[in-house]
């Protein structure tokens, strides 16, 4: 459906990923007309390729950015603080489909962990019980294995090594379900064929993405106007202090202004605060909806690293689902380990080229070549741990560098907390024990990774001074401006974030449609 630029009745959503795509799907189903602005193109799944370099060029967000601070990313990939997608469907084209709920106690991080020096911890203004029905709806929508009677996938080699090692050292919570990847045909999409290229856009659409599920769902209602190639630049405000439109650069590079009744920003937690900061006016000198000063702050990305082990006999980790299952035993809060919060250990694979960069950075010569020849004897595991919010870990605008639209590029600054470092070291020790218990002959400590999870930069808070949005993702400052992605997270938790992003979007859609119906917006 075409919605006119001067139509003042529609909801305008910025970004078509996990948050924005789901919000569009659910709002349209509830009878609301939606303009969906997406900076990237619409790419049919038939154009995805089992080729990581090609996929990176085809899918990834490559506009200029800068990483600063003490995190390894600032040193190793200063131009790429994070890995995300610029296309219809957003980073769900890259994602692995792990769909875990945040644990109830993790919603109360400040209360549970107590005050921690140099951290800006807070409790969510929302409980697990309140989110429970939306989690359940999200699991059904994504077809998450192990929920709603959907069977788990058969475990692949890489997971089986992790699981066996875990049990040998006494871990008990080991599971390969909770994946938004079809284990049987569902929702018009086929079952997984274990291609092993989940991050390159699932070629057969066995994996749920906002592009193969949410956008089509919205389109079927006839209420969606999807605009690929439309990069939102700023949000405009009227004399009453309400937002009334979005200025964007369209697919031809022309400036346009779409009028709006409500604006929802879901550009992923680097671009979302950037749009708000770029929308500063005389009335909002520090950025739109930023009376708290918290827009862009409390950036979190999970403590992440990838470790590999070599075995005497073959593993073939590259065969099948890229991230096939997880050990949960370290996901609790146990200060005796020397850090607050917990972490997950997720089996994960990589191809030889990436491995050559990561397994022994700087290594070369006969020993290194011999190590690489053991590629098919290796297993891998990813660390996904809770990182602490810090006010000065933040997304801000560069003082001089501009992007192709003439807007300041985002700078992502992270100084690691000692908690993050202690957690990573604990993970390395446990990984070594785990893999050695099933006969690893060589376990390598890896480098940390660029961020795949961006969180917290417009966080939810009970009080308006502590964060940017309320329990529904509505900004404290402006009634008809919402944040609809991982920027809302008050804390990162140890779980991968997307199921929660989807659950929050479903809850926000219900609230928003209700408020529109009651003429409160």
CB within 8 Å of 271: residues ≥ 6 apart:
15, 39, 410
Q: Give whichever of 160 and 507 is closer to other proteins, judged by the CB atom.
A: 160
Options 28, 67, 215, 275; binder of ligand FAD; rule CB under 6 A: 275
* Cα 140 versus chain centre, distance: 19
Q: Which of 4, 104, 127, 357 binds other proteins (CB under 8 A)?
A: 357
DSSP label of 247: E
- Residue 397's φ and ψ, nearest 5 degrees, are -95, 135
457 sits near other proteins (criterion: CB under 8 A): no
Among 66, 194, 236, 464, binds other proteins (CB under 8 A): 194
Q: What is the nearest approach in angstroms of other proteins to the Cβ of residue 30? A: 36
Choice between 69 and 201, CB closer to ligand SF4: 201
**Angstrom distance (rounded) from CA 92 to CA 75:** 27
Alpha-carbon span 517 to 519, nearest angstrom = 5
Cα dist from 83 to 42, 266, 269, 507, whole Å: 19, 16, 12, 27
Q: Encoding tokens for residue 148?
A: 């709603």
Contacts of 171 (CB under 8 A, 6+ apart): 327, 329, 434
**Residue appearing with tokens 């917290």:** 456
Examine residue 78 and tell whether it contacts other proteins (CB under 8 A): yes
Site for ligand FAD in 218-257 (CB under 6 A): 231-232
Residue 155 in tokens: 């475990």
Q: Which of residues 174-203 bind ligand FAD (CB under 6 A)?
A: 199
Q: Does 73 bind other proteins (CB under 8 A)?
A: yes
Supply 334's token pair. 């146990």
Contact positions vs ligand SF4 (CB under 6 A): 181, 192-198, 202, 204, 206-207, 320-321
Residues 449-508 that bind ligand FAD (CB under 6 A): 452-453, 485-486, 496-499, 501
- Note the Cα 424 to chain centre separation in Å: 20
In 61-211, DSSP assigns E strands to: 66-69, 174-175
Chain length of the chain: 521
Residues in a beta bridge with 258: 246
Can you tell me which of 66, 286, 337, 368 binds other proteins, judged by CB under 8 A? 368
- Number of CB atoms found within 10 A of residue 47's CB: 10
Stretch that binds ligand FAD, among 34-42, 116-124, 352-360, 388-396 (CB under 6 A): 34-42
Contact call for residue 18 and ligand FAD (CB under 6 A): yes
- Least distance to ligand SF4 from the beta carbon of 145, Å? 11
Q: Which does 368 bind (CB under 5 to 8 A by kind): other proteins, ligand SF4, ligand FAD, none?
A: other proteins
Are residues 196 and 349 in contact, defined by beta-carbon separation less than 8 angstroms? yes
Q: Residues 95, 113, 134, 197: which binds other proteins (CB under 8 A)? A: 197
Is 17 near ligand FAD (CB under 6 A)? yes
Note whether 243 and 237 are within 8 A (CB).
yes
Site for other proteins in 38-67 (CB under 8 A): 49-57, 60, 62
Select from 240, 254, 313, 519 the one that contacts other proteins (CB under 8 A): 313
Q: Which does 318 bind (CB under 5 to 8 A by kind): other proteins, ligand FAD, ligand SF4, none?
A: other proteins
Distance CA 238, CA 281 (A): 11
The whole-angstrom separation of Cα 358 and Cα 287 is: 39
Is residue 328 a contact residue for other proteins (CB under 8 A)? Answer: yes
Residues lying near ligand FAD in the complex (CB under 6 A) are found at 14-20, 37-40, 83-87, 90-92, 94-98, 199, 231-232, 266-268, 271, 275, 323, 452-453, 485-486, 496-499, 501
């Amino acid at each position: 459906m075409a919605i006119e630029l001067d139509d003042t009745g529609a909801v305008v959503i910025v970004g078509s990923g996990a948050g924005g795509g789901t919000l569009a799907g659910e709002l349209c189903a509830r009878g609301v007309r939606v303009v969906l602005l997406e900076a990237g193109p619409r790419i049919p799944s038939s154009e995805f390729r089992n080729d990581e370099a090609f996929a990176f060029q085809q899918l990834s967000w490559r506009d200029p950015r800068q990483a600063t601070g003490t995190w390894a990313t600032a040193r190793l990939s200063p131009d790429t603080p994070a890995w995300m997608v610029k296309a219809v469907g957003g980073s769900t084209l890259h994602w692995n489909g792990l769909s875990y709920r945040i644990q109830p106690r993790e919603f109360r991080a400040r209360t549970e962990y107590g005050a921690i020096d140099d951290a800006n911890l807070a409790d969510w203004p929302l409980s697990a019980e309140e989110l429970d029905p939306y989690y359940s709806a999200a699991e059904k929508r994504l077809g998450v294995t192990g929920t709603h009677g959907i069977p788990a996938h058969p475990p692949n080699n890489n997971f089986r090594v992790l699981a066996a090692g875990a049990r040998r050292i006494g871990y008990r919570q080991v599971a390969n379900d909770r994946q938004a990847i079809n284990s049987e045909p569902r929702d018009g999409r086929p079952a997984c064929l274990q291609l092993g290229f989940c991050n390159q856009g699932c070629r057969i659409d066995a994996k749920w993405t906002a592009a193969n599920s949410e956008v089509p769902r919205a389109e079927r209602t006839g209420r969606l106007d999807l605009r690929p190639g439309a990069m939102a630049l700023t949000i405009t405000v009227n004399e009453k202090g309400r937002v009334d439109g979005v200025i964007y650069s369209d697919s031809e590079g022309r400036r346009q202004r779409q009028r709006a009744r409500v604006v929802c920003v879901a550009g992923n937690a680097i671009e979302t605060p950037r749009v708000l900061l770029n929308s500063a006016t005389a009335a909002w000198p520090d950025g739109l909806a930023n009376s708290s000063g918290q827009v862009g702050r409390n950036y979190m990305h999970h403590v992440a690293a990838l470790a590999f082990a070599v075995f005497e006999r073959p593993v073939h980790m590259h065969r099948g689902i890229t991230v096939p299952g997880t050990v949960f035993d370290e996901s609790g809060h146990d200060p005796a380990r020397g850090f607050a919060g917990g972490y997950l250990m997720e089996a994960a694979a990589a191809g030889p080229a990436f491995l050559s960069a990561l397994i022994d950075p700087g290594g070369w010569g006969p020993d290194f070549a011999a190590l690489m020849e053991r590629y098919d004897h290796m297993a891998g595991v990813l660390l996904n741990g809770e990182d602490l919010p810090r006010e000065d870990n933040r997304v801000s605008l560069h003082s001089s560098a501009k992007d192709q639209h003439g807007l300041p590029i985002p700078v992502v600054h992270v100084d690691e907390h000692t908690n993050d470092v202690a957690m990573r070291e604990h993970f390395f020790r446990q990984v070594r024990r785990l893999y050695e218990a099933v006969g690893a002959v060589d376990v390598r400590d890896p480098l940390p990774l660029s961020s795949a999870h961006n969180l917290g930069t417009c966080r939810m808070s009970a009080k308006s001074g502590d964060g940017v949005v309320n329990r529904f993702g509505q900004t404290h400052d402006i009634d008809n401006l919402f944040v609809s992605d991982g920027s809302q997270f008050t804390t990162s938790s140890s779980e991968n974030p997307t199921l929660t992003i989807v659950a929050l979007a479903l809850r926000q859609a219900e609230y928003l449609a209700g408020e529109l119906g009651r003429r409160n917006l």
